[in-house]
Amino acid sequence: MGMDRWKYFGITHTDHTIMNPMSLLKTDELIDRMCLLDGGRVLDVACGKAEFLCRVAERYGVSGTGLDASPITIEAARRNVAAWGLNGRIELLHVDGTQYEPDRRTMLDLASCIGASWIYQGHRGTLEALNRMVQPGGLVLVGEPFWRTVPDPDYLKLTGQDAGDYGTHRSNVQTGLNLGLSCLYTVVSHEDDWDRYEGLQWQAAERYATAHPDDPDLEELLQTSDKNRDAYLRWGRDCLGWAMYLFRKPSAVRP
């Protein structure tokens, strides 16, 4: 993509409250299962607009840090945190997740990375990185795609993906179990969640094109949006799933 990727995602995700294919209702359901204690510390890597962090802080008496590499999205996050009235409890940093080192003197109660496992070279690497950040008994949360069916080779070619990029829903859980984590809960996106997530992108791209006819990136924006729409409707809606996985780090070494 010749167009700046942060600009592309900033435009196409203008109308998204949460920048992944999960409903707010299911996100809140998962947050309710966390049972965090007052005074806890949480970290969200690739926090997007910080909506998840805000909802966690609003639900529990915790403080949080959000990281995001996009200069566009981090500004949207700052506006969102201010709108929630949480500036005193949520810190936002414009930084790549791999460049961040949490304060080791105070281990985290929750570390999350929702939909950006590429930062840590995949699902397993993400679980390993987050697991190192949380204290014994702490929570690790990831959002990760999975194959619902074997992907069509034409779908992989069009989207530039590989069949080995993702596992199954079961293997996503098993990866955490293999690392010694306990799987506490999962929530899975359904077709209406995906349709909303994808459709908002198409609409935002078309609206931007109408409002900015002289943007030199306009042709690439619309071509990429059209390609992604075609890939989703022809194959992705049937073969690609998405889930959020809540794990707990053992509080002690099991016998």
> Residue 98: what pLDDT?
87
Q: Model confidence at 253, in pLDDT bands (50, 70, 90)?
A: low
- Mean pLDDT rounded to a whole number for the chain: 95
Q: Which contacts (CB < 8 Å, 24+ apart) does range 25-33 have?
A: 26/187, 26/189, 26/193, 26/244, 27/52, 27/55, 27/187, 27/244, 28/55, 28/59, 29/187, 30/141, 30/185, 30/187, 30/244, 30/246, 31/55, 31/56, 31/59, 32/59, 33/184, 33/185, 33/246
* pLDDT tens-digit readout, 7-16: 999 999 999 9
CA-based angle 108:110:114, to the nearest 5? 130
pLDDT at residue 1 is higher than 80? no
- Alpha-carbon distances of 148 from 135, 141, 217, rounded to whole Å: 33, 21, 34
* pLDDT tens-digit readout, 95-109: 998 888 877 667 899
Q: Kindly give the residue spans of alpha helices, DSSP state H, lying in 134-217.
A: 153-159, 169-178, 191-211
Question: Residue 141 falls within a domain, yes or no?
Answer: yes
The CATH number that applies at residue 38 is: 3.40.50.150
Q: Could you give the number of structural domains in the chain?
A: 1
Contact predicate 36/42, CB 8 Å: yes
Nearest Cα to Cα of residue 60 among 28, 92, 26:
28
Question: Residue 228 falls within a domain, yes or no?
Answer: no
pLDDT at residue 255 is higher than 50? no
pLDDT at residue 39 is higher than 50? yes
- DSSP for residue 192: H
Question: Residue 214 falls within a domain, yes or no?
Answer: no
**What is the arithmetic mean of pLDDT over 65-69?**
97
* pLDDT tens-digit readout, 177-228: 999 999 999 999 999 999 999 999 999 999 999 999 999 999 999 999 999 9
Question: Residue 202 falls within a domain, yes or no?
Answer: no
Question: Residue 54 falls within a domain, yes or no?
Answer: yes
Question: Residue 101 falls within a domain, yes or no?
Answer: yes
The CA distance from 68 to 10, in Å, is 12
pLDDT at residue 126 is higher than 90? yes
* pLDDT tens-digit readout, 137-169: 999 999 999 999 999 999 999 999 999 999 999
How are strands ordered across the β-sheet holding 134-147?
90-94, 63-68, 41-45, 108-114, 134-147, 240-248, 182-188
pLDDT at residue 254 is higher than 60? no
Question: Residue 110 falls within a domain, yes or no?
Answer: yes
Determine the structural domain holding residue 163 and report its residue range.
13-190+241-248
Question: Residue 209 falls within a domain, yes or no?
Answer: no
Share of the chain above pLDDT 70, in %: 97
> Residue 101: what pLDDT?
81
**pTM for the model:** 0.95
